[in-house]
Each structure stands twice: as C-alpha cells, then as structure tokens.
C-alpha cells in the first residue's frame, strides 16, 4: 500500500506541495506544505485515517468551522478544508517556530487529563513559574456541588475552591504523580 505521505501528497497536487511532517497529536498529523497559487507556506492537519470514524470526522469538521469563525493574532487562520480518500484535512496559516519567553507568560491548559499533566511538566521544566501554569482539576470532581467529598484534596474541596488552580497550588494537593514532585 502507498505510504500515507505519498497518498496525501498526490491528493493535494496541484494545489499544494506537501513538504514534510511537522508533528503528530492524538487525533491528527500536521504537515508543512506550500500553497502553489499564492506561493505561501501553510500547515495541513489531517485526521488520522485509523481514527476517521463518522463521529470523529464530524468533530473535526466542527473544530474547523469554529476555528474559521475566529479572528485573533494568537489563533491560526483557516484557509481551506477538504478530504482525500476519506479522512478530511484542514489547511491553516503556518506560524513557524515561536520564541516563547517562558518566565514572562502564562499558560492556560485544557484538554485530556494526560495531556494537561504532560504539558504542565514540560512547561515547568522549561522554566515557566508554577503560579503561571493554570489548569482545571475538574476531572477529580463527581457531584460538583460540595456534597460527595470525592474531590477533597489538601484540605480543600476542588469543586468549591476551584476547579481552576495554578501548578503552585496543585503541587500541594499531591494528586498528580509526576507533577507534584517537580522542583
């Protein structure tokens, strides 16, 4: 079977010249390409074919539509949308490498629990102060209204005092292995 990169490259020709893979996430793969007509670099995110169920494709389409409505300097612009042999792809602005001053910015993390945990650890190791790494501990809640006690940590009920906390506070809760023990 033709490798995925080649199949995508062929499907995007002649509108885009696929150059290389930029990275992979849980749901998709991002490639660098050149939009031929406008001679500009773009990023193309493709839903992983093995995860391209009808439900996942619908979610991907909604994500693209939502992103396409937004205009902000910190949000990539959506240029195009399509599909090749099934899985859809999304063409966006390519931002290149960002230079981040980790000591002077704040990160707000949301998403799957494991991803938040990994991002918190990485940001902390890259020098971001713990009081500037902010996330939600919603995943530790059950009733959400201070009744069940399920979210009791470090002398607090997460649902009543949060669920948004900084890494500085979270370390005192001792509930995120691999994060609590960071410097």
Least spacing, CB of residue 115 vs ligand FES, in Å: 22
Cβ nearer to ligand FES, comparing 106 with 174: 174
Binding positions for ligand FES, rule: CB under 6 A: 141-144, 146-151, 157-159
Distance of alpha carbon 76 from alpha carbon 72, whole angstroms: 8
Pick the closest to residue 135 from 154, 163, 114, 157 (CA basis): 163
Distance of alpha carbon 35 from alpha carbon 25, whole angstroms: 23
Distance of alpha carbon 166 from alpha carbon 122, whole angstroms: 15
Least spacing, CB of residue 148 vs ligand FES, in Å: 4
Cβ nearer to ligand FES, comparing 105 with 143: 143
Cβ nearer to ligand FES, comparing 23 with 149: 149
Least spacing, CB of residue 145 vs ligand FES, in Å: 7
Cβ nearer to ligand FES, comparing 59 with 172: 172
Least spacing, CB of residue 131 vs ligand FES, in Å: 24
């Amino acid at each position: 079977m033709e490798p995925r990169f080649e199949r995508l490259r062929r499907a995007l020709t002649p509108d885009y010249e696929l150059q290389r893979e930029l990275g992979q996430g849980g749901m998709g793969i991002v490639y660098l390409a050149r939009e031929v007509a406008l001679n500009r670099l773009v990023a193309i995110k493709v839903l992983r074919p093995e995860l391209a169920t009808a439900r996942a494709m619908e979610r991907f389409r909604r994500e693209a539509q939502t992103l396409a409505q937004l205009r902000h300097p910190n949000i990539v612009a959506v240029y195009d949308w399509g599909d090749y042999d099934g899985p859809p792809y999304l063409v966006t602005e390519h931002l290149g490498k960002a230079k981040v001053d980790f000591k002077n910015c704040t990160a707000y993390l949301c998403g799957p629990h494991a991803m938040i945990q990994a991002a918190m650890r990485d940001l902390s190791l890259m020098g971001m102060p713990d009081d500037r790494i902010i996330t939600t501990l919603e995943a530790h809640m059950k009733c959400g209204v201070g009744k069940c006690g399920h979210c009791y940590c470090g002398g607090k009920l997460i649902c009543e005092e949060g669920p948004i906390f900084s890494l500085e506070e979270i370390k005192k809760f001792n509930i995120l292995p691999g994060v609590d023990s960071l410097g």
